[in-house]
Structure 1
Amino acid sequence: MSHDLHTSSEGTIFALDIGTRSVVGLIVEPLGDKFRVIDCAIQEHSERSMLDGQIHDIVAVAEVIQQVKERLAEKHGPLTKVAVAAAGRSLRTRRATAEMEIRQHVAFSRDDVLTLEFTAVQEAQAQLAQELNDLDSTRYYCVGYSVVRYLLDDEPIGSLIDQHGDTASVEVIATFLPRIVVDSLLAALKRCDLEMSALTLEPIAAINVLIPPTMRRLNIALIDIGAGTSDVALTEEGTITAYGMVPVAGDEITDALMNAFLLDFPMAEQVKRSLNGNETVTFQDILGIDHTLPSAEIVAAIDGEINKLAQKIAEKILELNGRAPQAVMLIGGGSLTPKLTEKVAGMLELPAARVAVRGADAIQQFVESHPLINGPEFVTPVGIAVAARRHPLKYITVTVNELQLRIFDLRKMNVGDALIAAGLDIRRLHGRPGLAMTVTMNGRMRIIPGEHGTAASITKNGEPVGLDAPIDNEDKIVVIRGTDGKDAQALVADVCGNSPLIELSINGQAVCLEPLVFINGVEQSTETPLADRDQVEIRMPQTIAEALRQTGFHPLEAETLKFRLNGQEFEWPRHEIHLLQNGRPASLQQPIQPGDEIVYEQHPLPLPAIKQVIPPEEWIQEEVHVMFNEQRVAVKTGQLDITMNGNPVTADATLTDGAIITVKALPGKPPVFSDVFRFVEVSLVQPEGSGVMRLITRVNGEDATFQTEIKSGDKLELYWEKSKTSGQ
Structure 2
Amino acid sequence: MSEHNGEIFALDIGTRTLVGTVLEEAEEGYRVRESEVIPHQQRTMFDGQIHDISQVTSELERLVGKVENSLGREIESAAVAAAGRSLETAACTREIEYSAKRKLTEADVSSLEYSAVEKAREKLRENGDKSEAEMEYHFVGYTVKEYRVDGIFVTELLHQQASRAEVDIIATFLPRIVVDSLLSVIDNLDLDISALTLEPIAAAEAVVPRNMYNFNLALVDIGAGTADIAITEGGAMKAYGMVPIAGDEVTEAIADEFLLDYHSAEEIKCQLEAGESFQVKDALGNNIEVDCEKIKEIAEQRAEEMALMIGEEIARLNSGTPRAVICIGGGSLTPGFTRTLADYLDLDSSRVGIREADDLESVEGEIEGLAGAQMITPLGIGVYAARRREASVFSRVRVNAEEVTLFSIQQPRVEDALLQASVDLDSISPRPGHGLTYTLNGELQSIPGEMGSPGRVELNGEEVDMEAEVSADDEIEFVPGERGQDAAARVGEVLADDPDKKVEVILDGEKKELEPVLKVDDRPAGPEKMLEDGDEIEFRPLKTAADVMEMLPEVPEKKFGSKTLEITVNGRELILPGDELLVYKNGSPVGRQAELEDGDRLKIDSSGPIETIKDLAENNFLPGDSLEVSLNGKELEIPPLPETISVNGSEVSDDYQLESGDEVEISFRGMTAGGLLEYINYGLSDRMKEEASVYIDGEKRSFSAELSEGDEITLKF
> So what's the TM-score if we normalise by structure 2?
0.61
The whole-number CA distance in structure 2 between the counterparts of 1:157 and 1:455 is 34
Among 338, 352, 355, the residue aligned to 1:358: 355
Q: Which residue of 2 aligns with 1:545?
A: 585
Among 134, 143, 158, the residue aligned to 2:132: 134
The whole-number CA distance in structure 1 between the counterparts of 2:598 and 2:192 is 94
The AA in structure 1 aligned to 2:131 is N
Unmatched segments (≥5 aa) in structure 1: 498-516, 523-527, 560-577, 586-592, 595-728
Q: Which residue of 1 aligns with 2:416?
A: 417
Larger Rg, first or second structure (1 or 2)? 1
SS in 2 for 1:216: helix
1:102 deviates by 7.5
The answer as to whether partners of 2:224 and 2:247 remain within 8 angstroms in 1 is yes
SS in 1 for 2:411: coil
Q: Which residue of 2 aligns with 1:408?
A: 407
The AA in structure 2 aligned to 1:25 is G
Listed as ranges, the matches of 1:248-397 within 5 Å are 248-256=245-253, 269=266, 272-274=269-271, 281=276, 283-284=278-279, 286=281, 299-300=296-297, 302-364=299-361, 366-370=362-366, 372=368, 375-392=372-389, 394-397=393-396
Listed as ranges, the matches of 1:317-716 within 5 Å are 317-364=314-361, 366-370=362-366, 372=368, 375-392=372-389, 394-435=393-434, 452=451, 455-461=454-460, 464-485=463-484, 545=585
The answer as to whether partners of 1:437 and 1:488 remain within 8 angstroms in 2 is yes
SS in 2 for 1:471: coil
The whole-number CA distance in structure 2 between the counterparts of 1:430 and 1:472 is 25
Q: Does 1:116 align with 2:156?
A: no
The whole-number CA distance in structure 1 between the counterparts of 2:300 and 2:493 is 86
The answer as to whether partners of 1:122 and 1:420 remain within 8 angstroms in 2 is no
Q: Which residue of 2 aligns with 1:75?
A: 70
Query: 1:502-559: per-residue Cα shift (whole Å, max 9, x none)?
Result: xxxxxxxxxxxxxxx989599xxxxx999976567899867762899989897659x9
The whole-number CA distance in structure 2 between the counterparts of 1:463 and 1:322 is 47
Among 88, 93, 101, the residue aligned to 1:92: 88
1:290 deviates by 7.4
1:351 deviates by 1.5
Among 31, 39, 51, the residue aligned to 2:34: 39
The whole-number CA distance in structure 1 between the counterparts of 2:427 and 2:242 is 36
The whole-number CA distance in structure 1 between the counterparts of 2:401 and 2:288 is 71
Q: Does 1:206 align with 2:246?
A: no
The answer as to whether partners of 1:143 and 1:175 remain within 8 angstroms in 2 is yes
Among 218, 239, 242, the residue aligned to 1:221: 218
SS in 1 for 2:364: coil
The AA in structure 1 aligned to 2:466 is L
SS in 2 for 1:15: strand
Q: Does 1:14 align with 2:6?
A: no
1:231 deviates by 2.2
Among 186, 189, 196, the residue aligned to 2:186: 189
SS in 2 for 1:470: coil
The AA in structure 2 aligned to 1:391 is R
1:146 deviates by 4.1
Task: Return closer, same or farther for 1:429/1:171 CA change in 2, 3 Å cut-off.
Answer: farther
Q: Which residue of 1 aligns with 2:244?
A: 247
1:356 deviates by 0.7
Task: Return closer, same or farther for 1:483/1:273 CA change in 2, 3 Å cut-off.
Answer: closer
1:77 deviates by 1.6
> Is 85-94 or 98-107 further displaced after alignment?
98-107
Q: Which residue of 1 aligns with 2:59?
A: 64
The answer as to whether partners of 2:213 and 2:232 remain within 8 angstroms in 1 is yes
The answer as to whether partners of 1:435 and 1:486 remain within 8 angstroms in 2 is yes
The answer as to whether partners of 2:586 and 2:600 remain within 8 angstroms in 1 is no
1:195 deviates by 3.2
The whole-number CA distance in structure 1 between the counterparts of 2:374 and 2:298 is 25
The whole-number CA distance in structure 1 between the counterparts of 2:482 and 2:259 is 75
Q: Which residue of 1 aligns with 2:23?
A: 28
The whole-number CA distance in structure 2 between the counterparts of 1:104 and 1:219 is 38
The answer as to whether partners of 1:121 and 1:145 remain within 8 angstroms in 2 is no
The whole-number CA distance in structure 2 between the counterparts of 1:203 and 1:553 is 81
1:274 deviates by 4.8
The whole-number CA distance in structure 1 between the counterparts of 2:541 and 2:496 is 7
Task: Return closer, same or farther for 1:438/1:25 CA change in 2, 3 Å cut-off.
Answer: closer
SS in 2 for 1:181: helix
The whole-number CA distance in structure 2 between the counterparts of 1:470 and 1:126 is 28
The whole-number CA distance in structure 1 between the counterparts of 2:453 and 2:101 is 12
The answer as to whether partners of 1:124 and 1:174 remain within 8 angstroms in 2 is no
1:46 deviates by 1.1
The whole-number CA distance in structure 1 between the counterparts of 2:51 and 2:540 is 75
Task: Return closer, same or farther for 1:248/1:368 CA change in 2, 3 Å cut-off.
Answer: same
SS in 2 for 1:347: helix
1:360 deviates by 0.6
The whole-number CA distance in structure 2 between the counterparts of 1:553 and 1:46 is 98
The answer as to whether partners of 1:115 and 1:427 remain within 8 angstroms in 2 is no
The whole-number CA distance in structure 2 between the counterparts of 1:408 and 1:378 is 24
Unmatched segments (≥5 aa) in structure 2: 498-514, 521-528, 546-582, 589-593, 604-618, 627-659, 662-717
SS in 1 for 2:321: coil
The whole-number CA distance in structure 2 between the counterparts of 1:584 and 1:441 is 48
The answer as to whether partners of 1:118 and 1:426 remain within 8 angstroms in 2 is no
> Is 325-334 or 540-549 further displaced after alignment?
540-549
1:234 deviates by 2.5
Query: 1:298-351: per-residue Cα shift (whole Å, max 9, x none)?
Result: 645643222122222212222333322222111111211222111101011112
Task: Return closer, same or farther for 1:235/1:529 CA change in 2, 3 Å cut-off.
Answer: same
Q: Which residue of 1 aligns with 2:682?
A: none
The whole-number CA distance in structure 2 between the counterparts of 1:554 and 1:284 is 117
Task: Return closer, same or farther for 1:424/1:281 CA change in 2, 3 Å cut-off.
Answer: same
1:135 deviates by 5.0
1:35 deviates by 0.8
> So what's the TM-score if we normalise by structure 1?
0.60
1:52 deviates by 1.4
Task: Return closer, same or farther for 1:519/1:555 CA change in 2, 3 Å cut-off.
Answer: closer
1:177 deviates by 2.0
SS in 2 for 1:182: helix
Q: Which residue of 1 aligns with 2:642?
A: none
